Chains A and B, each alone.
Chain A
Amino acid sequence: MNEWTVGTVRRVAGPVVETTCTGDAQMLELVYVGDHRLIGEIVRIRQHTAWVQVYEDTTGLRPGAPVYGSGEPLSVELGPGLIGAIYDGVQRPLDTLRKKAGDFISRGIDAPALDRQRKWHFVPALKARCPVTGGMVLGHVRETDAILHKVMAPPTIAGDLYMIAEEGDYRVEEIIATVHNHGHPVELPLFHQWPVRKSRPHAGHLHLARPLITGQRVIDTLFPVARGGVVVVPGGFGTGKTMIQHALAKWCDADIVVYIGCGERGNEMTEVLTEFPKLIDPRTERPLMDRTILIANTSNMPVAAREASIYTGITIAEYFRDMGYDVAVMADSTSRWAEALRELSGRMEEMPAEEGFPAYLPTRLAEFYERAGMVKTLAGDEASITTIGAVSPPGGDFSEPVTRQTKRFIRTFWALDKQLANSRHYPAINWLDSYSEYVDDIAEWWDATAKGEWKARRAAILSIMQREAKLERVVKLVGADVLPDSQRVVLEAAAMFKNAFLQQNSYDKMDAFCSAEKQSKMLEIILTYFDLVSEAINRGALLADFSKIEVVRDIMQMKFECGNEDAAKLDAILAKLKASVQERQHAHA
């Protein structure tokens, strides 16, 4: 291997190791520490001393142990074989590690991220002698039934294509093209490497105009996210952050999902691993695992690798974006990543800012979230990365540094609420504290789906919920009985909206995913109920006349009983609602 000794260990205290270093050591260079060859990264150099952040447990490491340099920054391997894989924070394939070392992750084991033996059927897309620039598609590999893997020239390449392999089966390390780059021949295998801390280049940002449909009503209808947008989901424990992230990973209409389990529970990753291969993606009819890549650095795995895991994840996402795909990245949880940053910073004896977090926390957060976006790729396609980051604020307090700093760099905020979670109202997204700044950007798309009414209806229902919150304060003091019917109907409609619309059961077959069309119909029905009943009350009817009408039960159950394609059934409920309100009114008169 291409490496040499760059120094020796001088001091060990946790995951940061102080070493001597020769002049060859570079900032952010990947190094191997000690006889176990623990993977590490140089994070600071001062004269002849380097600080190495070690991605494995440093127990037993001794001063005097050698440090081997690699001359390369910490990188990920990008090529066929990523889909369906599960990696740790530094892209070691966990299933291969298990085959090599057993059920527990021991130290110093390593395996290439991409299977070196597996052969892929490569179909060239270019002919020899043509000019090649970075990001250009050289050929294709059918990676899964759903995903056509475009084999691209690495972004830094430019020159003439000297040779391209014929159609056939190749291993990832085999050369499939040779490019004359400024007179030097460069051989390109089926995969290439890219440093995780550097964003992959693209040809420019584009306007965000389409929503990412998640099938979750409270999200799509009230607080939507655009493709290429960024969302943060803060919530105390037990409020369902992971449930939302899982629901999105299952149902959002992205082409590729990169799920980063960053310092979270091992069983949650197991759940994804056991559940996703069995779930069928409604759009491609293929198992969900066929579009999913998992990065699992659970809470008991080394803390430094947790810091690296979100970069590993987003770099893989960028690679698929460069192929022209819409990618969704779920990072659960960025607070654990920030805590890893804090721990490493503390070990390097840096000056802390708020609550012990380093002063560069906002810079790092911005760097991460800015890698999302809708872009024109180097190959000329439109593609996007949508990032959904969970935050775990201590004590559920949103004023803590990670939540507060993250809010500066995101445009959709889904505030999870302990009270809602306690009464088992899921998803526990609070409709008063949450917001989406993408509403205007995507209104055109939605209005086309909901016959020009989406934005207006959304505003109408939010105003009902707002009025309900105000009335609720009065109710808490004097009870609902004293309110006039014209106000009680607001409470009634709000309760209906909460039960029939906002609450969504992600374990119910019918309810887990709700199409945009069904959502807009459901909202129309609830608003119609409110409008008709309010109108009737204004004309002298009593609320009590309407609360027991049979159609109310149908409305409450419509999420479970009407299929996503079943517009007729919802139309029937709407017609029934209009008829029965009218009937009651006549009866009253």
Chain B
Amino acid sequence: MLTPNQTDNALLDRREYIGVDEVAGPILAISGIHNVGYNELIEIVDAGENVRLGMTLDVSEGAAVAQVFEGTSGLRPGATRVRFRGEPLTIAVAPEILGRAFDGLGRPIDNCPPPAGAFRDVNGLPVNPTARDYPRKFIQTGISAIDGMNTLVRGQKLPIFSGSGLPHRQIVAQITRQAKIVGEDRPFAVVFAGMGIKHDEAMYYLRNFEESGAMERVVAFLSLADAPSVERLITPRAALTAAEYLAFDLGMHVLVVLTDMTNYCEALREISTQRQEIPSRKGYPGYLYSDLASIYERAGMIIGREGSITQVPVVSMPNDDISHPVPDLSGYITEGQIVLERDLDQRGIYPPIAGLPSLSRLMKDGIGPGMTREDHAHLASQLFAAYAQVKRIRALASVIGEEELPELDRKYLAFGEAFEGQYLSQAQDEDRSIAQTLDLGWRVLSTLPREELHRITEEEIRKFYGK
């Protein structure tokens, strides 16, 4: 039953207002309006009867400020009409979304009709912390640097911090191709959100999905570099709304790829500047952290529901600067990070996953006996410690020369070479099982004398060292 107020709204929502007061970039100011809600969807009809979508950002008595997702070019203030829909932006979800492609606002771009299903608010709702199920299930990506050292678990959000020219594309594609839960044959569904990336980059991903036969379990949301930047503010939310539907309504395990989050943040900064908000670091708005959290926190699992959402966002570091606000704030929200290193890449090592700054916070609960193997935790810890030592010795060697180093230090350097050349490095189509990864870890570690291995128990040494 409608309450009186809702009835009013239903009537008012059909009302159309002619004329807008101000157009500035993607922002519109409208006055003479009545009963408009905050953060609600509007339709802007231009002189040529084309409908564009927008959203209210600031509402007051008789006036509102709105952003237009498809840009404001060609709008004539006097001839523009505005309709208020009285609801937040929604997308339609149905099982048929699998295998489909949508634009950044969730409208089909594959010449098929929109999915016939329930409409969901793209903003979602925060998961009650008491309803969350703690992620513990190991995902085997087949990449040693990830599985062995920075393990991904189901329901985690683990971004890839990349730089321009680094092969994050190949790594993401390899993860989506190879990711599986050992002992389960159900593959992951993939929700792909492309934000501000180039057309050919998007094609690379889509072709990859097609070639691996995964296309029928992929949903793509594309807001490419030539789309209006404001549209990008919705793209990850639309994608996550679809992911939540697949995971929590249909019980599927979903891998969400968001690329590139830095482009998303650029769009947020653009709107914030247009609205003349007080900027914080590098001109990004003060609420960048909360805004990013509203995206990243939509990963996870819920007690009593079968599906899960695992996020692998790509965050590019401008100038390879990890302290730039976007990677920095991302790192504070996500559960670890996979950092790509230019130096490794230049030496031809693929995947160039930096040994030390990479981290998976949920690794500790997803590995060990019954999940991977009993020696995994100590082995990883020892590899990290030994590799840190390699870095120190290399710094020294660059000053005094390798010949001057004591024998032990030279052994460390040999370990470093083996670690990077054999353990980190692998082919793009090489899918290593976790046992292979761990055995390889022991093989490279065995180049070091056993007295150096402080983080490993005697028993493990007996069982694995030098084997």
A interface residues, Cβ below 8 angstroms from B? 10-14, 18, 35, 57-64, 86, 94-95, 97-98, 102-106, 236-238, 261, 263, 265-267, 269-271, 273-274, 296, 298-301, 303, 336, 339-340, 342-343, 346, 352, 355-356, 392, 394-397, 422-424, 475-481, 499, 507, 548, 556
Contacts and interface: CB of A to CB of B under 8 A. Distances in A.
B293 A271 contact: no
Given A64-B61, A103-B248, A394-B281, 15 more contacts: A12-B37, A57-B123, A59-B123, A267-B300, A270-B133, A273-B129, A274-B134, A299-B293, A299-B333, A300-B126, A339-B289, A342-B286, A346-B278, A355-B280, A507-B364
Contacts of B384: 423-424
Contacts of A95: 130
B440 to A, nearest CB: 20
Contacts, number: 209
B35 A267 contact: no
B116 interface: no
A585 B318 CA distance: 58
Given A11-B61, A238-B331, A479-B404, A59 B129 contact: no
B332 A237 contact: yes
B335 interface: yes
B250 interface: no
Interface string B46-81: 000000000001111110000000000000000000
Given A59-B40, A298-B129, A423-B388, A336 B337 contact: no
Contacts of B24: none
Interface in B284-314: 286-287, 289-290, 293-294, 297-298, 300, 302-303, 305
A106 B36 CA distance: 21
Contact of B129 (A13, A269, A556): A269
A81 B237 CA distance: 38
Contacts of B135: 267
A270 B381 CA distance: 25
A17 to B, nearest CB: 9
Nearest to A340: B290
A237 B330 CA distance: 9
A35 B135 CA distance: 37
B225 interface: no
Contact of A356 (B59, B280, B294, B335): B280
Interface in B382-403: 384-385, 388-389, 395-396, 399-400
Interface stretch (B260-268, B354-362, B411-419): B354-362
A299 B127 CA distance: 11
Given A62-B38, A266-B297, A11 B60 contact: yes
B21 interface: no
B38 A13 contact: yes
Nearest to A13: B58
6 nearest CB pairs, A to B: A395-B323, A299-B293, A423-B388, A11-B60, A237-B331, A300-B297
Given A298-B126, A299-B290, A303-B287, A58 B38 contact: yes
B289 A104 contact: no
Interface string B351-379: 00000110101101100000000000100
19 contacts: A13-B58, A59-B88, A86-B129, A104-B128, A237-B332, A237-B337, A238-B337, A267-B300, A270-B132, A270-B133, A271-B134, A271-B365, A303-B287, A342-B280, A352-B278, A423-B356, A423-B388, A479-B406, A548-B451
B277 interface: yes
A266 B333 contact: no
Contact of A299 (B289, B331, B336): B289
B460 interface: no
A476 B131 CA distance: 51
A333 B241 CA distance: 28
A221 B280 CA distance: 39
Interface residue tally of chain B, by bracket? 35 or more
A270 B357 contact: no
A237 B333 CA distance: 9
A266 B300 contact: yes
Contact of B59 (A11, A94, A97): A11
Contacts of A336: 289
Contacts of B130: 86, 94-95, 98, 273
Contacts of A300: 126-127, 290, 293-294, 297-298
B325 interface: yes
A62 B333 contact: no
A273 B278 CA distance: 38
Given A86-B129, A103-B127, A11 B58 contact: yes
A103 B128 contact: yes
A385 B61 CA distance: 47
A10 B61 contact: yes
Contact of A63 (B59, B280, B395, B406): B59
Nearest to B303: A103
A423 B328 contact: no
A227 B365 CA distance: 32
Nearest to B329: A394
B31 interface: no
Q: Indicate the member of A265, A303, A339, A507 with the most B CB atoms within 10 Å.
A: A265
A13 B289 contact: no
A167 to B, nearest CB: 34
B32 interface: no
A97 B128 contact: yes
Contacts of B300: 266-267
A105 B128 contact: yes
Contacts of B126: 104-105, 266, 298, 300-301
A330 to B, nearest CB: 16
B208 interface: no
Contacts of A395: 323, 328
B4 to A, nearest CB: 11
A238 to B, nearest CB: 5
B319 interface: no
A59 B297 contact: no
A273 B129 CA distance: 9
Interface in B3-36: 3, 5, 35-36
A98 B406 CA distance: 62
Residue from the set A236, A300, A480 with the largest chain B CB neighbour count within 10 Å: A300
Contacts of B396: 475-476, 479
B182 interface: no
B435 interface: no
Given A11-B60, A300-B298, A352-B278, A422 B356 contact: yes
A10 B64 CA distance: 11
A422 B357 contact: yes
B38 A12 contact: yes
Nearest to B62: A63
